């Protein structure tokens, strides 16, 4: 790593496809996926469904579209969706479910682990009557981005899902980083998501694909999701060129997430020693710094001056995400640079 090269910790979405992935993409067998003819997309969907223990899957361009298609497939306009106040669907998907799905998003407080309190979910379930929206869906998130990459244990997901199911509501799990949860907790993703009807996961984050997410669930729901995807303009044609990257990632890029988690711990320990930041030990690849001295903007600018990129993450908070393209040596270099920024402040 040269002195001037930028170390990009803004997100694991910045990862670049490596040479082997690019070769897999270049050699992909393709067809028209809207006709169901693309063998690479079909292979990715079958692999994805199997990997998370669901019947079927549909390939979509982004995590945002996967979640939106899930909400559209589980609900009708005027329904209510229960979800965490810190969830990505509630905070970072441009209220697409409200605008396009015509549903009401009802946030419940997230606990520090990214979960919800069972009693809050129970209390939020609507009694059916003329006036109320129908409680149609509960959305959970694993790992939980805003809660610092925390893993939602299978037992917690089961307990929350049981309440929803009892009320006749569906359960969708935003598993954008579900394989980080699998690797960190040494629990198969299929087990972590077993209690949810549907699960979405991203190929374009730690798994290092250039693009793409998958929504997995029962065949009937995925058939509906295919129509919703088409409505949103997400029906792609020779998408196998992209899907081949996903197949490659599922085969080669899951186990290595453990390196990202180890790097996140090293980064958090180093940052915590500097003084101006409170840093919790990360559960996976997301490191959150709470600014104790100075300002968030001041530190982001100081880091950027040293060639370390991070993002603002709520009031007084900065996020750094470790990933394939920042190895252990680069993490050490990032810490050296940040130390210089602190010394100069």
15 Cβ neighbours under 8 A, 6+ residues apart: 204, 205, 206, 208, 323, 324, 325
Q: How near is the Cβ of 147 to ligand TLP at its closest, in Å?
A: 10
Q: How near is the Cβ of 202 to ligand TLP at its closest, in Å?
A: 5
Query: Contact 324/301 with Cβ under 8 angstroms?
Result: no
294 Cβ neighbours under 8 A, 6+ residues apart: 276, 345
Tell me which residues touch ligand TLP (CB under 6 A). 11, 13, 62-64, 67, 88, 92, 141, 145, 174, 176, 202, 204, 213
26 Cβ neighbours under 8 A, 6+ residues apart: 241
- Which C-beta is closer to ligand TLP: that of 284 or that of 342? 284
Comparing CA positions, the residue from 235, 198, 202 lying closest to residue 220 is 198
- Which C-beta is closer to ligand TLP: that of 70 or that of 342? 70
| Backbone dihedral angles phi then psi of residue 17, each to the nearest 5 degrees | -65, 130
Tokens in use for 245?
Answer: 């990257």
Residue nearest to ligand TLP (CB): 63
CA distance 58 to 46: 9
Q: How near is the Cβ of 167 to ligand TLP at its closest, in Å?
A: 24
Q: Beta strand 7-8 with 308-309: parallel, antiparallel or unpaired?
A: parallel
Q: In what order do the strands lie in the sheet with 286-291?
A: 277-279, 286-291, 317-321, 311-312
Q: How near is the Cβ of 322 to ligand TLP at its closest, in Å?
A: 12
Q: How near is the Cβ of 62 to ligand TLP at its closest, in Å?
A: 4
Q: How near is the Cβ of 88 to ligand TLP at its closest, in Å?
A: 4
Q: How near is the Cβ of 204 to ligand TLP at its closest, in Å?
A: 6
- Which C-beta is closer to ligand TLP: that of 91 or that of 187? 91
- DSSP code, position 311: E
- Which C-beta is closer to ligand TLP: that of 64 or that of 306? 64
- Which C-beta is closer to ligand TLP: that of 79 or that of 141? 141
- Which C-beta is closer to ligand TLP: that of 175 or that of 342? 175
Comparing CA positions, the residue from 179, 344, 204 lying closest to residue 256 is 179
Comparing CA positions, the residue from 262, 256, 307, 314 lying closest to residue 288 is 314
Q: Which residue has the tokens 């009802």?
A: 106
Q: How near is the Cβ of 313 to ligand TLP at its closest, in Å?
A: 9
3-state secondary structure of 167: coil
Query: Contact 138/129 with Cβ under 8 angstroms?
Result: no
CA distance 269 to 275: 11
Q: How near is the Cβ of 273 to ligand TLP at its closest, in Å?
A: 26
Neighbours of 43 (CB within 10 A): 18
- Which C-beta is closer to ligand TLP: that of 141 or that of 333? 141
- Which C-beta is closer to ligand TLP: that of 202 or that of 247? 202
- Which C-beta is closer to ligand TLP: that of 11 or that of 185? 11
Comparing CA positions, the residue from 251, 254, 246 lying closest to residue 45 is 246
């Amino acid at each position: 790593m040269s002195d001037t090269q930028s170390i990009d910790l803004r997100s694991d979405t910045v990862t670049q496809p490596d040479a082997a992935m690019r070769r897999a993409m270049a050699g992909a067998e393709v067809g028209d996926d809207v006709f169901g003819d693309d063998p690479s997309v079909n292979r990715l969907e079958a692999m994805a469904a199997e990997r998370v223990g669901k019947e079927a899957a549909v390939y979509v361009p982004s995590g945002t579209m996967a979640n939106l298609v899930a909400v559209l497939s589980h609900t009708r306009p005027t329904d209510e969706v229960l979800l965490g106040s810190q969830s990505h669907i509630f905070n970072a998907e441009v209220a697409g479910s409200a605008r396009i799905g015509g549903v009401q998003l009802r946030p419940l407080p997230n606990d520090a682990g990214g979960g919800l309190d069972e009693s809050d979910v129970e209390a939020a379930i609507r009694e059916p009557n003329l006036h109320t929206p129908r409680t149609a869906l509960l959305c959970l998130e694993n790992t939980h981005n805003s809660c610092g990459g925390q893993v939602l244990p299978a037992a917690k997901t089961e307990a929350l899902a049981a309440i929803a199911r009892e009320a006749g509501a569906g359960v969708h799990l935003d598993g954008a980083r579900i394989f980080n949860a699998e690797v960190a907790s040494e629990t198969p993703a299929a087990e972590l998501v077993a209690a949810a009807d549907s699960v979405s996961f991203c190929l374009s984050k730690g798994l290092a694909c250039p693009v793409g997410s998958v929504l997995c669930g029962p065949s009937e729901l995925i058939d509906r999701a295919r129509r919703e995807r088409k409505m949103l303009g997400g029906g792609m044609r020779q998408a196998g060129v992209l899907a081949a990257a996903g197949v490659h990632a599922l085969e080669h890029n899951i186990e290595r997430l453990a390196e990202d988690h180890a790097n996140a711990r090293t980064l958090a320990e180093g940052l915590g020693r500097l003084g101006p930041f409170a840093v919790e030990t990360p559960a996976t690849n997301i490191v959150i710094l709470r600014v104790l001295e100075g300002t968030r903007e001041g530190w982001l600018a100081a880091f950027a001056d040293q060639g370390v990129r991070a993002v603002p993450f709520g009031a007084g908070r900065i996020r750094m995400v470790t990933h394939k393209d920042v190895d252990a040596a680069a993490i050490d270099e990032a810490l050296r640079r940040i130390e210089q920024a602190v010394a100069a402040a």
